[in-house]
Structure 1
């Protein structure tokens, strides 16, 4: 059954088969009326097997009678190629006879003649949502957001403290996942004991734990965090064995009742990430000069976040040219997102992207950037067949399996050739497990897309060992002042020698003058980028560049 005439449906299924406890996948063969389902869906919905005959009728019978007509109208429109919202919700009956809410997102796959032949779909079971984390038994971050919403409605000023282990992956590697879970439980138990009646403890996303308090002031929270830091360093023991671990912490005081709770949550996560990566675990207070960013305040967070929700209002794109190191001709460009809105004026992406990456809405912004950049670049690509566009991939895009169908939709909608697109992995991608990242990258490669990697140090090159990287960007942090910094010079020599021997295309960025350009050409790099060749500009201005006209 799994081979022969079912090879095509199997290949398509394998492409989309990223599942979890509450996420299912199926692929439907329209001509044969056969579908293949992920095993977790077979088990949960009580299907006859992984392959289902007379598939349309079998699944139709499981949909709630009140939702069936709307569901069939939706599928008819999708199969006909009409523009509809890619998401639809309906109720479906599980093997116990209970109806659960399912969120469905699918894509139609056509043959060479443009005829729809397959329908690939990802289903999220919204009925499997437990309000408590099974490991720590703490209420989850959805409950935390509800609590924050209630405090806002009651006009109560409160603080949210978030803590996480700086390198929990190392703990899992050293002691195993079972011990890792025990450490989370012990830390959660300590938080509850220290809080007593002063606040409520929650399990956030990943290994994050959080405390919401409307009684402790900032000084008390600082002392509280000091106690927790000492506990994880000195007193944390599992099965009588001392396990020293460092934590990071971020806190925000919520005193503006006009600000959305999601914006407050995002700001707290940004402060936490800053503590982990920039301050070695010292407590970071959002709204504080330690963030090295006077515009990083909750009003800005809320305004930018609302701009995403309101159809990307205030966002626009700029492009910077990439040239050949051999003859200086234009070979590509990289896209940069910008935001401008009163009373903030023009705000640099360095001031909003780092914390917006912590928010779920960044997924929508990342997809908007990708789609609009492809539209802008299409004409250039049609005239220059070797031209490529670089787009940074957001952590949220890589994290979600549905990005696969979204990417296919965008490529089909824009008509941009996948071979002219380079999707770049940034520092934030390190938050993902290598197994998940490898699965996503292999899918992107199967679509014909190139994969780029921002290299900031030797550790970044470890990704080249595990992933099929096509392009390496040597970032300005390494190239800046290379004529005076001997350490960076030797690092770049090593990196470029490494990529050259592996036949990986390499771009030397941050070039601001002829002297740096000459230095860059001494290395085995293929591409150059920097203000010397052109500053980021709107697409209409890009097409006026002398580089482009040549």
Structure 2
């Protein structure tokens, strides 16, 4: 933690710093010329520093002038990178090193981590005594606001401009080329880049009365307008679909394009840029994956109030970066199919606040999974679940804690290290952890999933294939990836006593698991009639309201400890 000094002492140090005209001039010159980098200058004797205002704004630091800035900055550095950073800074201040050069991840104001390169040197005062430590921090997350390929404003410009405005009452759409990767693989990188340029020009010509077009990630383009209605956007999208299927001319080639699109109307200035983009991406992937490229409009909630839902999602997203305010976990017991004794527990995320009450996860998880902040929430869920369930291991040494994974977590290269670190911090036995691969995770590359599960299974962590039977990839995953448990979705269970098709499906999965020597957990067991029917087939454990609803930590402790 940073040292505390009085405001008077801080003001005195600032005044002393400013009197050193050479240092002030040097700082100003380097701050102006170091585009994309931030300058820092520290007096080692009193551990007082000045940092670029751009760094203060981007990383939400307390002030340009800081006492014990190294410790303050350390709190912004990713936990996995702090130890090496601390060693480097301690070496500078102890006099055992006169240079600093390392890369680390640092948390920005919006809660996301950006990669930074930090370089610094120690130099002497007029008496030859090492006194000053100065250098630059290069923010690799910093980008020009113009996309180099299309010359359109880019994603950074979108977030910057939107965050600095109070604009509302507009339609915003997201369009993208769904078959771009195929074309890029066939014709090559240069043709792919030229295609993006030609497509961006096509959009500008199509939306010639538009307020702004941004190139976002990959092939996605965001279009913002105060003049076009959702119906206008839908009509133009249908026209674009037909034209682009006939082909777009690129480098003497006629390339047939397939597109996806989504749209929503923003009527409130309290909804942030990140929330809007997350909602658009959610509907965009629905357009690509579920609607065969049909236009997807971000729907209203059950009460028909779209504006309230957007504000609600914005509040939930902000809660992630506010130390997970309002989030908590509930735990649903998993019982042995024969003895009905407790053998496991599934951690389930919940969110609640005074304005919106308890919001079901189905309302925010599918949307926020597209958000850059979601992996932080996923890591918090793992840490909290292991910490809160650890006391039960003394009474139930074989208790298995099941935690759902998000595909945004799996996509991160450092996620395996993150899990290892959390387990070490909590001192939780690996054999008691089971990670659930959800339906959305199965959309990831099969090799990525295989490498991930293989690495952690070698450490003793178990894996469950959740929602088995839904979607199109369940059997493909089971064929290519070693899992320990299959969980049958409740959709096949609720009518099983009366539905012959459900009986055939469940019986077939049961025989398959028995042949593969895989545990079978059946969710959604809500009546004794369902339970007794399922006891006739191969099944290892049950989960459902017949045994218990999801319980808060306190309720779970009262029932099982």
Same-fold call, TM cutoff 0.5: yes
Q: 1:149-228, aligned counterparts within 5 Å?
A: 149-150=163-164, 152-153=165-166, 155=167, 157-165=169-177, 171=182, 187-228=199-240
Number of residue pairs aligned between Structure 1 and Structure 2: 454
Mean Cα displacement is larger for which, 315-324 or 479-488?
A: 479-488
Cα distance, 1:65 vs structure 2: 9.2
Change (3 A) 1:441 1:232: farther
5+ unaligned residues in a row in structure 1: which ranges? 1-62, 93-98, 106-121
Cα distance, 1:201 vs structure 2: 3.0
**1:250 is matched with which residue?**
262
Contact 1:191 1:228 in 2 (8 A): no
Q: 1:52-71, aligned counterparts within 5 Å?
A: none
Change (3 A) 1:324 1:183: farther
**2:63 is matched with which residue?**
none
Tell which structure's C-alpha radius of gyration is larger.
Answer: 2
Cα distance, 1:230 vs structure 2: 2.0
Mean Cα displacement is larger for which, 263-272 or 384-393?
A: 263-272
**1:479 is matched with which residue?**
493
Match for 1:148 among 162, 169, 177? 162
**1:116 is matched with which residue?**
none
Aligned-residue CA RMSD in angstroms? 3.9
Change (3 A) 1:339 1:102: same
CA-to-partner distance for each residue in 1:246-301, whole Å, 9 max, x for gaps? Answer: x3322122332232211222222223234345544433333536998879721111
Provide the secondary structure at the position in 1 that maps to 2:206: helix
Change (3 A) 1:468 1:202: farther
Change (3 A) 1:299 1:128: closer
Provide the secondary structure at the position in 1 that maps to 2:349: strand
Contact 2:115 2:140 in 1 (8 A): no
Contact 1:101 1:127 in 2 (8 A): no
CA-to-partner distance for each residue in 1:101-124, whole Å, 9 max, x for gaps? Answer: 94348xxxxxxxxxxxxxxxx966
Provide the secondary structure at the position in 2 that maps to 1:543: helix
**1:518 is matched with which residue?**
532
Cα distance, 1:191 vs structure 2: 1.8
Change (3 A) 1:520 1:294: farther
- State the distance in 2 between where 1:144 and 1:481 align: 48
5+ unaligned residues in a row in structure 2: which ranges? 1-37, 48-67, 89-99, 107-113, 118-138
Match for 2:514 among 497, 500, 518? 500
Contact 1:390 1:421 in 2 (8 A): yes
Contact 2:301 2:309 in 1 (8 A): no
- State the distance in 2 between where 1:297 and 1:344 align: 10
Change (3 A) 1:182 1:444: farther
Cα distance, 1:205 vs structure 2: 2.9
Mean Cα displacement is larger for which, 205-214 or 219-228?
A: 205-214
- State the distance in 1 between where 2:308 and 2:499 align: 31
Match for 1:272 among 266, 272, 284? 284
Match for 2:242 among 214, 230, 234? 230
1:336 equivalent to 2:337? Answer no
Contact 1:274 1:291 in 2 (8 A): no
